Amino acid sequence: MDKKQSDHDMNLRGTLVSVFFVGIVIVAMWVAVYLMYVAR
Amino acid sequence: MIAQPERKIALWHLGVAYTAFLIGTLMGVLQVFIRNDALQLPAWLDYYQILTAHGVLLALIYTTFFIFAFFITGMSKSLGSFGPKVRLFSWIGLWVTLLGTVMATVMIVAGEASVLYTFYAPLKANGFYYVGLALVIVGTWISSFALVGHYMVWRRNNKGQLSPLFAFMTITTIVLWIIACLGVVATVLFQYIPWAFGWTDTINVELSRSLFWYFGHPLVYFWLLPAYIAWYTIVPKLLGVKVFSDSLARLAFVLFILFSIPVGFHHQLTEPGISNFWKFLQVVLTFMVIVPSLMTAFSMFATFEISGRKKGGTGLFGWFKKLPWRDVRFTSIFIAMAFFIPGGAGGIINASFQLNEVVHNTLWIVGHFHITVGTPVAMTFMGLTFWLIPYLTGRRFTKRMQRLGFVQIITWSIGMLLMSTAQHVLGLMGAPRRTAYSGYNDHPSAMEWFDGIISNHVTMAIGGTILFLSAMILMYIVIMTMFVSPKAETPEQMVEFPLAESDMSNTPKWLENWWIWIGIAAALIIIAYAIPLTHMIQHAPPGSKGFITW
Amino acid sequence: MHFHKYEKIWLSFGIVSLIVFLSVVGVSAFSQNHTPSGGMDTIDPEKVNETAPFDNPGVTQLDEDTYQVAIVALAFGYNAPDLRVPVGKEIIFKVTSTDVVHSFTIDDTKVNMMVVPGRITTKSYTFEEPGKYLILCNEYCGTGHHMMSTEIEVY
């Protein structure tokens, strides 16, 4: 039970920022190719 | 250490895997030089023969044998020693797969099967090429059932308990593999083999392509999931922490069973015979299979951050510096993960319905699978090899080998970065994949492609050469740790199997109820495939005779 | 099963992004006719040269604003004489194969069609720039695959 409690309070701010970096790569690459598609 | 008989089985798998790796990478480096017009092959050897061998030996054979070596070792480690039947069938599986591999390879070398590893009809290879590939599948099934049998014995002896995470993930991968293979087995057994041996005159081409891709996409998850197993179960141990969340790890894996199969049409988006409705439906399902990878990304970063903070890292990114960068077993896998960020993002683009027209069958796709299977998967396997072989042979992984390991993974990263970036850019410009050297009669468009700073044949050739050197360093490490390195004598010298603890206390039992997942998977497959495949059979055009155009 | 708060944020962002991607391509495809090449028409691969429109390959004007281009792909070339089409008009490409699988791919356009024997692949495209466009095969079809190309002139 103690462990579960500590899970809740875990400081994962770095993780949140890191995954959003991944998210930005995904969105940026997708938008770039979408614009190429539209331009063709 | 696991029992001697299992060690022997696993080492044999690794031996075959790295033999295939050696030949396969050699075929790779030859290609970049042919494309560069720097190399003329002798008359008895053809570019497309080399390309076929490269694809079959690396994508199918290296991966498969390595995966089973890893599974056999891990299942013996986490569930206990194999019984005599499990051992026997693991050996039979190995020999059948190897027989199939040799048969297919002989056909490729003989020039009877320059049809690439996708073997699209009506290109007609020698019938024994298809028999060889069928035996490869049958062999993996035998090995798979051996492991499933071992798992069932454990379950019977541990009623009501969740299995260890490694075993759960292994069984998930095997379930996925067996369901996936049904498509390729169907087409090879009922379409290709009768046609190639002349028992039937013609083949339903579109049906064969669709059955192939029913298999072809989960095939890539069959490569990826073992890498994910390492990410989830090995990496936390290297970082000195537990698995981030046992239940979410299992949930991600069962989602792969559900959504990695009914998605094959996203490889066929620009072809006739499948209506837009069914193509788009499978595009939507393809997008569902992205979710478990998003979950995995979070779990990985969380594992890093928890470990780094435990070691005293502070601030937003202080934990990053505390990661064990000097441990080649970790750094290799970290780089593998980093490559998967653009790799996965590229995959989303490929599957985005009409956006596929921009990239379909261009060099972009070649770049894509080199930064998915070619690095995230392959470099994870390399990172595992560093300890797996010495663990199995009882030899030491010496300081010198560790340094060489770093040289190997860094050269692989640089080589791959150069080659795959060039391929991605060339593909976006329109350069086709799977071609020998060609300037298309010096057409200005074709000339323009290869004129860039990154987008030229030289970058690709330099990248390819560095990759080959890296592969040879790896071969050296493999041979040393397999046969030459000194035996470990003290406990500190012993190489361990770094398997992390996973807290199962909050994991719901239904996650391990396979019938739920197999049932939903079957339902999704029927929804996605039953109507379009029936249409392909009922409204089939006259079939195609075989052609040998090489 | 417990999701960390930040994981919920991340997965929501991810899933919303995926839904946006799907909506963008879906709406563009089905409401503005930007579906990828395809079609459900079949043909006898051994009777291609006797079957319309491939008995008369090349450019045909259908009406004021629409042209049809019929092309037969074969190892290792295209039977497509006099490929000249006007800029700004809808061009409907219809392609089939007499032997193995090929592609009909026009460089720098959305025309990237798989060509499957027994099937007719259709794609509608409107050129915006005049010029000579390279056409090539990007599906492996045999020894001469990398030589398989032609050209279309847009005027």
% of chain B surpassing 90 pLDDT:
89
Identify the band that residue A11 occupies on the pLDDT scale cut at 50, 70 and 90: confident
- Whether residue B434 lies in the annotated active site: yes
Nearest residue to B289 via CA among B263, B319, B308, B270: B263
In the predicted model, is pLDDT for residue A3 greater than 60?
no
Per-residue buried b or exposed e for B211-227, using 16+ beta carbons within 10 Å of the residue's own CB? bbbbbbbbbbbbbbbbb
Q: Is the pLDDT of residue B4 over 90?
A: yes
Across the range C10-21, mean pLDDT stands at 97
Separation CA C110–CA C88 (nearest Å):
15
The per-type count for chain B, helices as H runs and strands as E runs, is: 21, 0
Cβ(B204)–Cβ(B543) below 8 Å: yes
SS3 C95: strand
Q: Looking at residue B447, what is its pLDDT?
A: 87
Using alpha carbons only, give the angle C24, B209, B65 rounded to the nearest 5 degrees.
100
Q: Is the pLDDT of residue C117 over 50?
A: yes
Q: Determine if the peptide bond prior to B122 is cis (ω within 30°).
A: yes
pLDDT band at B446 (very low <50, low <70, confident <90, very high): confident
DSSP letter string, B97-142:
HHHHHHHHHHHHHTTS--STTTT-TTB---HHHHHHHHHHHHHHHH
Which chains contact B through at least 3 pairs of Cβ atoms less than 8 Å apart? Answer: A, C
Which of C 24-43 lie inside 8 A of A, CB atoms?
A: 24
CA A29 to chain B, closest CA, distance in angstroms equals 7
pLDDT digits (tens, 9 = 90+) for B62-96: 999 999 999 999 999 999 999 999 999 999 999 99
Query: Cβ B358–A15 below 8 Å, yes or no?
Result: no
- Sign of dihedral through CA atoms B520, B522, B524, B527? negative
Taking only residues 54 to 113 of chain C, the set having a beta carbon closer than 8 angstroms to any beta carbon of chain A reads: 108-110
Contact B345 A30 (CB under 8 A): yes
A to B CB pairs, distance under 8 Å: 63
d(CA B315, CA B299): 19
In tens, the pLDDT along B203-241 reads 999 999 999 999 999 999 999 999 999 999 999 999 999
What residues have CB less than 8 Å from B286, skipping those under 6 apart?
Answer: B217, B259, B263, B266, B351
Check if A34 contacts C (Cβ < 8 Å): yes
Superfamily of domain C48-154: Cupredoxins -  blue copper proteins (2.60.40.420)
B326 is catalytic: no
Name the percent of chain C lying above pLDDT 70: 100
Query: What pLDDT shows up at residue B45?
Result: 83
Q: In chain B, what are the domains?
A: 4-538 (1.20.210.10)
B549, C100 Cβ separation under 8 angstroms: yes
Burial of residue B464 (number of CB atoms within 10 Å: 0-12, 13-18, 19+):
buried
The distance of B507 to chain C (nearest Cα, Å) reads 6
Q: What angle do CA C150, C153, C155 make, to 5 degrees?
A: 175
* pLDDT given for residue A9 in this prediction: 55
- For chain B, the average pLDDT equals 95
What is the average per-residue pLDDT within C30-52?
95
Chain B residues in contact with C121 (beta carbon < 8 A):
270-272
Asked whether the ipTM of the predicted complex exceeds the cut of 0.90, the reply is: yes
The per-residue pLDDT for C141 is 95
Annotated catalytic residue B433? yes
Checking if the pLDDT of B439 tops 50, the result is yes
- Cα dihedral across residues B31, B37, B38, B40: positive or negative: positive
Please tell me the predicted confidence (pLDDT) of residue A2: 40
To test the contact with chain A by mutation, choose from B295, B306, B445 the residue with the greatest count of A C-beta atoms within 10 A, namely B306
pLDDT the model gives residue B488: 93
Q: How many separate domains does chain A show?
A: 1
| Cβ partners under 8 Å of residue B12, min gap 6 | B94
Identify the domain containing residue A29 by its residue range: 2-39
Task: Say if A31 is an interface residue toward chain B (CB within 8 Å).
Answer: no
Domain assignments of chain C as residue spans, ordered by start: 1-35, 48-154
| Local structure of B62: helix, strand or coil | helix
Q: CA-to-CA distance for B503 and B338, rounded, in angstroms?
A: 27
- All residues of chain C having their beta carbon less than 8 Å from the beta carbon of residue B545 are 46
* Interface with chain A: mutation pick from C4, C105, C128, highest number of A CBs within 10 Å: C4
The CA distance from C36 to B355, in Å, is: 8
**Is the pLDDT assigned to residue A1 strictly greater than 60?**
no
Mean pLDDT (whole number) for C32-55: 95
